[in-house]
Structure 1
Amino acid sequence: MYNLKNMAEDKLIRLNVSSENPEEIIKIGGELLLKNNIVTDSYVQAMIEAYRELGSYIVIAPNIAMPHTSGENGALKTGVSLLTLSKPVNFGNEYNDPVFLVFCIANAGEHEELLPILESIVKIGSDDALREQFRIAGSIDDIEKIINNFNL
């Protein structure tokens, strides 16, 4: 079963990303998926295009963006990457900006694999203290400990 623990094992986490451009942030998260053979380059481009066309719908909870697109755009399998941002960034969502956690989601149609990932992200989105722990994490080991402690 795929869950957030796989992010660390698969090297899908990047901490303290320094960018103020939402499209560049999405590209960085997408490239982590690309490097791990989870998506094709066209999927990364489609996530950026979706943000350009549809805007801040990807800001799903306070401080959390979840870029994604249809699996038909080049998802090879289900996976998720995580970026923490060195400085919060506005994605254009008046209720949930600024963003400092970005989960890039890929789903190649295995909805049963996607569900635990989405449940974990919802849990993070509804818990201010948990979001803050992710925000201040200084290492991938710290992220792994948070994931294990909260059974994400």
Structure 2
Amino acid sequence: MATLHELVTPDSIRLDVSAGDWREAMRAAGALLVSAGVSDDSYTESMIRNVEENGPYIVVAPGIAFSHARDEDNVHRTGLSWVRLQEPVNFGHESNDPVVLVAALAARNSSAHIMATKQMAALLDDPEKREALRSAATPEDFRAALQ
């Protein structure tokens, strides 16, 4: 299984993105997956429906959302994108709002999803890594913080 660092390229990271709400933030992250050839637009809409139906459980740490959905033949390969928002948005999470970092994972199968989720948990458990993601000056610096 690829590491988080390997799943994301500098082209799948956007810093200081403007988003009016959580849906726009997720669409920005999903658009990066689409432009990288990882998934289709329908996958992005599935990620949004996932939150609408199940609530903001994807806001996994203070200020950080980890969006994903089930592959319904709309994921071409496993990949990850990241968006850092210019201004935080609320997802409706009781303790982890507002969100400034949105990761979008598209996984081809459940084992890839589980491995990426475990790696994400380890990353987010490290306060220094979280701060490096929040303060990265360039997509390359952001990607380096994922190692």
**Fold conserved between structures, TM > 0.5:** yes
Counterpart code for 2:2? Y
Q: Is the 8 A contact 2:47 2:67 kept in 1?
A: yes
Counterpart code for 1:75? V
Q: Distance in 1 between matches of 2:144 and 2:45?
A: 32
Farther off after superposition, 114-123 or 16-25 = 114-123
Q: TM-score, normalised by structure 2?
A: 0.88
Q: Percent identity?
A: 34
Aligned residues: 146
| 3-state SS of 1:28 partner | helix
Displacement of 1:109 in angstroms is 1.0
Displacement of 1:110 in angstroms is 5.5
1:40 equivalenced with 2:16 (yes/no): no
| 2:143 match | 144
1:55 equivalenced with 2:55 (yes/no): yes
| 2:132 match | 133
CA deviation vs aligned residue, 1:34-71 (integer Å, no higher than 9, x gap): 11111112111111122222221111122210111111
Q: Distance in 1 between matches of 2:135 and 2:102?
A: 14
Structure 1's unaligned 5+ residue stretches are none
Counterpart code for 2:31? E
| 3-state SS of 2:117 partner | helix
1:80 equivalenced with 2:58 (yes/no): no
Counterpart code for 1:97? D
Q: TM-score, normalised by structure 1?
A: 0.85
Displacement of 1:73 in angstroms is 5.5
Do the aligned partners of residues 144 and 66 (structure 1) sit closer, same or farther apart at CA in structure 2, a change above 3 Å counting? closer
Q: Distance in 2 between matches of 1:104 and 1:138?
A: 20
Q: Distance in 2 between matches of 1:146 and 1:41?
A: 28
Q: Distance in 2 between matches of 1:37 and 1:107?
A: 13
Q: Is the 8 A contact 1:56 1:91 kept in 2?
A: yes
| 1:106 match | 106
| 3-state SS of 1:56 partner | coil
Counterpart code for 2:145? I
Q: Is the 8 A contact 1:46 1:73 kept in 2?
A: no
Do the aligned partners of residues 2 and 14 (structure 1) sit closer, same or farther apart at CA in structure 2, a change above 3 Å counting? same
Structure 2's unaligned 5+ residue stretches are none
What's the C-alpha RMSD, in Å, of the aligned pairs? 1.8
| 2:116 match | 117
